[in-house]
Structure 1
């Protein structure tokens, strides 16, 4: 588990470094997860320790949102002043997430139909 956590932190660090070096207006953690996705696609498998650790983190994901919610509450005055862009970002983000999820599901279902029933 420690090795998998170190791997996740290393990819987050790689993402942060990429953002700082390129000046991209993206969160370093997001770029790090894209690097992780590319690495996993290159390996063509997920290491067992990484799968177990990621599953454990996902089970407790709500705890990981506490700092974000706290930050929003600390800056609630600013959010209240700029509620329109905040609301638009939330709606657009939710719509994009739903669309990408639907397209991914459609692609996976078509792929499984082509592969035939499991043996």
Structure 2
């Protein structure tokens, strides 16, 4: 019964996110907003309920099954992918490079911002 309660909680947050996005006309996917709301709730609570942990663990254990529809789609559109392999490859490579550079810059910025010098600070009076 705990599994059903956990799945219901995940679906309710997804539904609330979807309804909020549609009512507020926000340009982000509803499930993403629902996930942000769930994250905020769990952060405020400080821990996840056991039912949610059980449901999420079961979903993660079978995560590979969620890639089956994508693989079927790739095979169904193989001819189109073969015709347009160059733009697809360029888009993948450029987006990967841009993501890696952006991630590195954000990591450097946050590291400098969060990490303080550990040694004794020099005063300007010397």
Give TM-score scaled by structure 1 length: 0.63
Change (3 A) 1:17 1:71: farther
Which consecutive residues of structure 2, in runs of 5 or more, have no partner in the other structure? 116-126
Partner of 1:5: 7
Return the index of the structure with the highest Cα Rg.
2
Partner of 2:58: 56
Aligned match for 1:88, one of 73, 94, 100: 94
Task: Report the Cα distance in structure 1 between the residues aligned to 2:92 and 2:26, rounded to whole angstroms.
Answer: 21
Write 1 or 2 for the structure with the bigger share of helix: 1
Task: Report the Cα distance in structure 2 between the residues aligned to 1:11 and 1:28, rounded to whole angstroms.
Answer: 9
Cα offsets for 1:9-31 (capped at 9, x unmatched): 11111121222223333222221
Pairs aligned (count): 102
Task: Report the Cα distance in structure 1 between the residues aligned to 2:51 and 2:36, rounded to whole angstroms.
Answer: 19
Give 1:58 shift: 0.8
Partner of 1:46: 48
Cα offsets for 1:14-60 (capped at 9, x unmatched): 12122222333322222111111011112111101111111111111
Change (3 A) 1:96 1:46: farther
Change (3 A) 1:41 1:90: same
Give TM-score scaled by structure 2 length: 0.61
Give the root-mean-square deviation of aligned CA atoms: 3.1
Identify which of structures 1 and 2 has the higher relative contact order when contacts are C-alpha pairs closer than 8 Å and 6+ apart: 2
Which consecutive residues of structure 1, in runs of 5 or more, have no partner in the other structure? 111-119
